[in-house]
A and B are shown apart, each in its own frame.
Chain A
């Protein structure tokens, strides 16, 4: 469904992603793991058109979307849930959700709104509150729900556990598991490698802008190098 071939990304003169290739099949949950600065988030941003691709290509459902504009990519069916619990702080929860459906023109938006609130009961409770007044975990839930409101065919999550308490991290991952069970295709960037590998079907390990290991999540989880470097065993 999504295919990256020999992708290179640079910020000015400094190249941070040195030619990576990866695939995500429909219905699959793929995790990109690795340390800080390994190029995971830059890869996601390049897919979404938020940073320019230096060379290589991004294909989505057979179409070349390399360096397409951010809104063209969203219209194509790729939605990103950016890191750091991004919400519109002065808008209500409902308004935030409606903004998520901005690119849609169909009439099912209200039904989807109800569905999101069934999935996240806390959002129904807080529906008229300003998003900035929610707790960190609630804001992350809102960010995820807002991303789903676009009815994407693939959803990219950038560090959904960032800066959240361990208990909240667990509930965020429960939510992601629920979304995966609905059949959503997911590409997940995560530093919390254990959580990510438990959720994902397949994973790619990034180191200094390159993919150094790939395979089924279970295999990576039991690989001695990964265990030593990233899982703390």
Chain B
């Protein structure tokens, strides 16, 4: 019963999103919705390592950058079709994630966060200075778009991908692997003494999360048509972390809600003019202090309380 209800809610959410291009009269909102869906992919990946495994990684945007640049450069230098380079971007990112994940996952907690932060800084520095390949701070423009740049078509592509990857994240979370990731978050030393090689599972979560980010980066590059190193800085990594925390870490719906929030909230706050970013920052600070379990966590708690009251009043 409960399960069919959950599936129903997801289907309704998917259907209403699918109708968005018909409902939105202002094209700018469609543009933002596409960005938000790309961020859903990003946040689902971040949630795997941060929410389920309990390792706060700050290299998300860096991996997004690797995905964006590899898809773009593969297209330019090898004249591959765009859909093929988008598909290859997560694989290239996975290679980088394997190389960076193995050393960074040897440390825990704040140390892990700092090591991954350093990797993000390095990625940006390389993107800026390896001018022969990346064109430096000027960035690369005129990146080929799919279907002649049709926003509606791209919206559906991103929507289907975001839905599939959300489903994949849910399957991972419910699998035996997901159970072990949760166990690592709760008591990593014990996981070791039970006889589970925790590092394999941590590396798996880290690499899969990087592949999500890589795909999000590639989708971003071919949507905007322009990339430069600044877009993939630490600030974006922090936005990914916030999307997970705001929505509800360790839940499947959380990153979806969080992704839409980090994309739309700064826009909705435009009425505040020059106070916009201050207000945005204030909301984030207050939300993390008073709502550490995220929107999904608060909703679940509220539903539980309501249903308990129902039982009591029935009796």
Contacts and interface: CB of A to CB of B under 8 A. Distances in A.
Interface of A: 48, 50, 69-71, 73-75, 79-82, 86-91, 95, 99-100, 102-103, 146, 150
Contacts, number: 56
Interface of B: 179, 182-183, 186-187, 189-190, 192-197
A103 B186 contact: no
Given A70-B197, A80-B193, 13 more contacts: A71-B195, A79-B193, A79-B195, A82-B190, A82-B193, A86-B187, A88-B187, A89-B187, A99-B183, A99-B194, A102-B194, A103-B196, A150-B194
Interface of B is mostly: helix
Contact of B186 (A75, A81, A90, A150): A90
27 contacts: A48-B193, A50-B192, A50-B193, A69-B197, A70-B192, A71-B196, A73-B195, A74-B193, A74-B194, A74-B195, A75-B195, A82-B189, A86-B187, A88-B190, A89-B186, A89-B187, A90-B186, A91-B182, A91-B183, A91-B186, A99-B183, A99-B194, A102-B194, A102-B195, A103-B196, A146-B194, A150-B195
A90 B197 contact: no
A86 B190 contact: yes
A92 to B, nearest CB: 12
A119 B193 CA distance: 22
A102 B194 CA distance: 7
A74 B191 CA distance: 11
Contacts of A79: 193, 195
Contacts of B193: 48, 50, 70, 74, 79-82, 86
Contacts of A89: 186-187
A146 B192 CA distance: 14
Contacts of B190: 82, 86-88
